[in-house]
């Protein structure tokens, strides 16, 4: 597991730079990292002098508080960035349609606020806001103006998308996508240098705004998690404790992921649960509390920025007031089934498309691909009001319960009955012609979103799929909600409606259906459960609606799981060949460690080092001949009794260093791993003592250990490799990659799809 603490990272008393670090695209050893952190604390010795002890106390306190300070900083920075992204994206989205005469930096809503002339109903048609056609040719109506606006809408979209993809390609290729699959992999112990660096942060923030504004079918919620993790990673550099330790840093990143969701949905508790349930691998309870703190700080920072001018953290915050009826669970479960089916379809289609991108020439023209998809999206989106508006606005409108003052097309019911006094809710009424036309437009928008999202997710721009998934579900839910509402209105004498849907009563809330549909679709795609329900609960603010949400989410997960085990993030991890050992999936096969370990029967024996029988030359030959990332050390080839484990990287660095610095170390020098070096004859070259780099406590299992136990050990302890023994003799080795290959083989997948170790 770790070299003995006295000799950690040292050879001959002096630390060798590089020993104990990792290469890019490698997996860390959690146990080793945790031990390194322990070695930092000199708690074994108790300071004798009171002055020293005061100093130690101060250091101890500052050490403990550095974690909290870091959380505070991450919260502040992520909250501020999220606010900036929200405001810029809002403004640039509106820029596609027109500009504000009071000042070009106002968005549509803001522009109309500052004009005092308009009444509440006409807020959207204020004179200061000019569409491009109005500004350029002076016409706001007519086919010519429409075409003008259309063309400018598409041009702006293309410009934004082009800028986004160019910036990503030029400065930070890691800034594309949602980032959550990679963050999951990184949190599980993988190293991708630069993935959470400052360039990625800067470019991702800018291009995220551009991509969202271009009108592509993508959201900013997933990428916000990446942005928050970048903040966390960068701020880690301020504190030695976190900069130098990969395990500690991952604790911070888990908290940062919670922060990301907290600012994306205004849901601090949901964010923490998301981090716990979905992305984190190692989540000690201390992290839970700190994550919660960071998530709250971020949420309050964002709220004080107030990007939407409604004191809310998200555009689609709602408050429902009408209760739901037990019979409504049936349509909610239907929405769950739809969500599950959509999730399974989306994952298959998207993975197939991404595989095609990887394997065909399509992948060679990422800029062209983005431009074509953007052009298609913009051209198809403009004519339909529901696709032209930003997806967040669409969701907000769909979630919204029709109030008295609502001017939305979705709320133009026939004035069948008198509005009730007080309250926001209106009784059920027959839908007017405009509602029917809105239904048609929504149905088309549904089809459009379903198709376009499949090709959008995975392009070389920052793209999240929370919002598009929610939009699909919200449209389906609203359609179903209005249908049930009209059914209840026209057939309130049916048995099922009798009692709770009398005429004039307000019994169906189509907005709630939209919300339940959104949860179901998001659940189908990501397979989130508790965190999803809690996020939705925080969006509505009422415990009342947890049951519908839960019913839909549960159904959706079951349906989606029946059609394909993996969520979208796991599917993308597998597509990219990252070494990720899914902590949720149960390993249920009865294979034993001996079936998985290498060498297999018939293979050449395991390459091992011996305690004192090898020269520098022998070892260099072994290194040159093999590509293994580490070698077990045994007492002798005959006994095969295990002493320890040496990492290839440490071995290379140490030998190189000794050859340069240490007098008398030549090719024929003998290498000793034993504690005591026997006296050497005077003629022989100086020996090289390498006990310091040897891990004296490698993990071992016996060859009869069931593989599910081995998998459990790897997951829970975060191992990279484990040695296999039989009756006390070394027999073989199992690495994380071996396990992943074995699991792929069992699932009838290509075992070579796992690319890294």
- Contacts to a second copy from residues 686-715, by CB under 8 A: 696-698, 700-702, 704-706, 708-709, 712-713
Contact 611, 634 (CB under 8 A): yes
Shortest distance (Å) from residue 455 CB to a second copy: 32
* 160 counts as binding a second copy under rule CB under 8 A: no
Shortest distance (Å) from residue 588 CB to a second copy: 5
* 56 counts as binding a second copy under rule CB under 8 A: no
Contact 348, 341 (CB under 8 A): no
User: Cα(314)–Cα(86) distance, rounded to whole angstroms?
Assistant: 9
Structure tokens given for 677: 């070096």
Place of tokens 């001959």: 12
Q: Which is nearer to a second copy, 638 or 663 (CB)?
A: 638
Q: Which is nearer to a second copy, 291 or 350 (CB)?
A: 291
Which residues from 297-316 bind a second copy, rule CB under 8 A?
Answer: 299-300
* 470 counts as binding a second copy under rule CB under 8 A: no
* 682 counts as binding a second copy under rule CB under 8 A: no
The residue count for binding a second copy (CB under 8 A) is 72
Contact 609, 633 (CB under 8 A): yes
Using the rule CB under 8 A, which residue among 289, 345, 353, 500 binds a second copy? 289
Instruction: Using DSSP bridges, classify how beta strands 670-672 and 98-100 pair: parallel, antiparallel or unpaired.
Output: unpaired
Using the rule CB under 8 A, which residue among 243, 598, 661, 729 binds a second copy? 729
Shortest distance (Å) from residue 589 CB to a second copy: 6
Shortest distance (Å) from residue 306 CB to a second copy: 14
Using the rule CB under 8 A, which residue among 26, 27, 35, 486 binds a second copy? 35
If residue 645 lies in a helix (H) or strand (E), which one and from where to where?
strand 642-647
Give the burial class of 618: count Cβ atoms within 10 A of its Cβ; 0-12 exposed, 13-18 middle, 19 or more buried: middle
Structure tokens given for 655: 């030998």
Shortest distance (Å) from residue 29 CB to a second copy: 11
User: Cα(195)–Cα(233) distance, rounded to whole angstroms?
Assistant: 10
Using the rule CB under 8 A, which residue among 59, 193, 358, 589 binds a second copy? 589
Which residues from 517-556 bind a second copy, rule CB under 8 A?
Answer: 529-530, 533-534, 537-538, 541, 543, 546-547, 550, 554
* 272 counts as binding a second copy under rule CB under 8 A: yes
* 502 counts as binding a second copy under rule CB under 8 A: no
* 583 counts as binding a second copy under rule CB under 8 A: yes
Give the burial class of 704: count Cβ atoms within 10 A of its Cβ; 0-12 exposed, 13-18 middle, 19 or more buried: exposed
User: Cα(188)–Cα(372) distance, rounded to whole angstroms?
Assistant: 36
* 337 counts as binding a second copy under rule CB under 8 A: no
Give CA 40 to chain center in angstroms: 31
Residues in the chain: 757
Shortest distance (Å) from residue 537 CB to a second copy: 8
* 716 counts as binding a second copy under rule CB under 8 A: yes
Structure tokens given for 108: 């549509």
Query: Any idea what DSSP says for residue 545?
Result: G
* 286 counts as binding a second copy under rule CB under 8 A: yes
* 41 counts as binding a second copy under rule CB under 8 A: yes
Q: Which is nearer to a second copy, 478 or 527 (CB)?
A: 527
Using the rule CB under 8 A, which residue among 242, 274, 293, 631 binds a second copy? 293
* 76 counts as binding a second copy under rule CB under 8 A: no
Shortest distance (Å) from residue 277 CB to a second copy: 6
* 610 counts as binding a second copy under rule CB under 8 A: no
* 285 counts as binding a second copy under rule CB under 8 A: yes
Q: Which of 149, 144, 113 minimizes the C-alpha distance to 128?
A: 113
Shortest distance (Å) from residue 321 CB to a second copy: 14
* 665 counts as binding a second copy under rule CB under 8 A: no
Q: Which of 645, 623, 632 minimizes the C-alpha distance to 732?
A: 632
Q: Which of 288, 191, 237, 247 minimizes the C-alpha distance to 70?
A: 237
User: Cα(649)–Cα(646) distance, rounded to whole angstroms?
Assistant: 9
Part in contact with a second copy (CB under 8 A); list of ranges 2-10, 135-143, 437-445, 488-496:
2-10
User: Cα(181)–Cα(397) distance, rounded to whole angstroms?
Assistant: 30
Q: Which is nearer to a second copy, 451 or 744 (CB)?
A: 744
Site string for a second copy, 178-217 (x = CB under 8 A): ----------------------------------------
Part in contact with a second copy (CB under 8 A); list of ranges 31-39, 398-406, 471-479, 489-497:
31-39
Q: Which is nearer to a second copy, 451 or 547 (CB)?
A: 547
Contact 738, 629 (CB under 8 A): no
Asked if the bond preceding 642 is cis, omega within 30° of 0, the reply is no
Q: Which of 225, 153, 180 minimizes the C-alpha distance to 390?
A: 153
Q: Which residues pair with 721 in a beta bridge?
A: 735
* 326 counts as binding a second copy under rule CB under 8 A: no
User: Cα(486)–Cα(613) distance, rounded to whole angstroms?
Assistant: 86
Beta-carbon contacts of residue 727 (< 8 Å; ≥ 6 apart): none
* 43 counts as binding a second copy under rule CB under 8 A: yes
Which residues from 624-643 bind a second copy, rule CB under 8 A?
Answer: 635, 639-643
Structure tokens given for 302: 């964002």
Shortest distance (Å) from residue 73 CB to a second copy: 17
Using the rule CB under 8 A, which residue among 584, 598, 600, 637 binds a second copy? 584
Part in contact with a second copy (CB under 8 A); list of ranges 27-35, 95-103, 336-344, 497-505:
27-35
Backbone phi, psi, residue 508, to 5°: -115, 130
- How many CA within 13 A on the CB side of residue 219? 25
Shortest distance (Å) from residue 162 CB to a second copy: 40
* 749 counts as binding a second copy under rule CB under 8 A: no
Which residues from 419-448 bind a second copy, rule CB under 8 A?
Answer: none
Contact 390, 445 (CB under 8 A): no
């Amino acid at each position: 597991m770790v070299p003995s603490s006295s000799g950690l990272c040292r050879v001959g008393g002096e630390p060798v730079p590089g020993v104990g670090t990792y290469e890019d695209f490698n997996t860390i050893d959690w146990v080793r990292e945790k031990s390194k952190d322990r070695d930092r604390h000199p708690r074994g010795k108790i300071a004798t002098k009171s002055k020293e002890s005061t100093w130690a106390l101060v250091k101890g306190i500052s050490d403990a508080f550095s974690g909290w300070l870091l959380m505070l900083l991450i919260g502040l920075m992520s909250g501020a960035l999220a606010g900036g992204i929200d405001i810029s994206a809002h403004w640039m989205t509106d820029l596609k349609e027109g500009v504000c005469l009071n000042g070009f930096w106002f968005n549509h809503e803001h522009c109309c606020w500052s004009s005092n002339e308009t009444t509440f109903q006409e807020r959207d048609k204020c004179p200061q806001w000019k569409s491009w056609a109005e500004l350029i040719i002076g016409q706001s109506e007519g086919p010519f103006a429409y075409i003008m606006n259309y063309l400018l809408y598409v041009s702006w979209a293309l410009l934004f998308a082009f800028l986004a993809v160019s910036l990503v390609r030029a400065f930070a290729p890691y800034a594309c996508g949602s980032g959550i699959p990679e963050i999951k992999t990184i949190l599980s112990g993988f190293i991708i240098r630069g993935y959470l660096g400052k360039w990625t942060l800067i470019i991702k923030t800018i291009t995220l705004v551009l991509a969202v504004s271009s009108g592509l079918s993508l959201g900013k919620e997933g990428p916000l998690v990446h942005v928050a993790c970048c903040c966390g990673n960068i701020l880690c550099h301020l504190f030695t404790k976190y900069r130098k330790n990969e395990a500690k840093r991952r604790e911070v990143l888990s908290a940062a992921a919670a922060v990301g969701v907290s600012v994306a949905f205004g849901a601090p508790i949901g964010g923490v649960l998301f981090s716990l349930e979905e992305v984190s691998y190692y989540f000690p309870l201390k992290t839970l509390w700190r994550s919660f703190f960071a998530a709250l700080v971020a949420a309050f920072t964002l709220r004080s920025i107030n990007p939407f001018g409604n004191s809310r953290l998200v555009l689609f915050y709602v408050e429902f007031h009408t209760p739901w009826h037990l019979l409504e669970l049936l349509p909610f479960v239907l929405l769950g089934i739809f969500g599950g089916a959509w999730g399974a379809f989306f994952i298959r289609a998207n993975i197939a498309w991404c595989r095609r991108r990887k394997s065909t020439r399509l992948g060679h023209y990422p800029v062209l691909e983005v431009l074509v998809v953007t052009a298609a999206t913009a051209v198809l989106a403009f004519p339909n009001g529901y696709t032209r508006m930003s997806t967040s606005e669409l969701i907000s409108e769909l979630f919204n319960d029709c109030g008295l003052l609502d001017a939305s097309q979705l709320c133009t019911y026939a004035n069948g009955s008198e509005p009730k006094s007080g309250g926001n809710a209106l009784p059920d009424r027959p839908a007017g012609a405009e509602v029917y036309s809105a239904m048609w437009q929504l149905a088309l928008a549904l089809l459009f979103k379903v198709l376009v999202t499949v090709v959008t997710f995975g392009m070389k721009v920052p793209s999240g799929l929370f919002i598009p998934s929610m939009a699909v579900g919200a449209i389906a839910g609203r359609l179903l909600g209005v249908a049930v509402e009209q059914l209840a209105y026209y057939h309130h004498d049916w048995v099922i409606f009798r009692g709770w849907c009398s005429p004039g009563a307000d019994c169906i809330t189509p907005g709630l259906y939209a919300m339940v549909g959104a949860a179901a679709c998001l659940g189908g795609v990501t397979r989130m459960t508790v965190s999803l329900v809690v996020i939705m609960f925080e969006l509505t603010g009422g415990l009342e609606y947890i049951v519908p949400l839960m019913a839909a989410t549960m159904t959706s997960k079951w349906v989606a799981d029946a059609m394909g085990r993996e969520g979208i993030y796991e599917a993308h991890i597998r597509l990219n060949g990252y070494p990720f050992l899914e902590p949720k999936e149960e390993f249920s096969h009865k294979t034993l460690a001996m079936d998985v370990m290498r060498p297999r029967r018939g293979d050449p024996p395991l390459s091992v080092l011996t305690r004192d029988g090898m020269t520098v030359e022998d070892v260099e030959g072994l290194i040159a001949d093999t590509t293994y990332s580490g070698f077990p050390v045994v007492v002798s080839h005959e006994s095969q009794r295990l002493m320890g484990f040496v990492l290839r990287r440490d071995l290379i660095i140490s030998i190189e260093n000794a050859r340069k610095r240490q007098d008398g170390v030549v090719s024929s020098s003998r290498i000793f791993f034993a504690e005591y070096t026997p006296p050497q004859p005077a003629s022989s070259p100086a020996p090289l003592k390498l006990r310091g780099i040897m891990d004296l406590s490698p993990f071992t299992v016996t060859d009869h250990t069931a593989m599910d136990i081995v998998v459990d050990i790897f997951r829970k302890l975060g191992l990279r490799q484990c040695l296999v023994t039989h009756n006390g003799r070394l027999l073989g080795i199992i690495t994380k990659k071996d396990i992943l290959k074995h699991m792929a083989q069992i699932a009838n997948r290509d075992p070579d799809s796992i690319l890294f170790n």
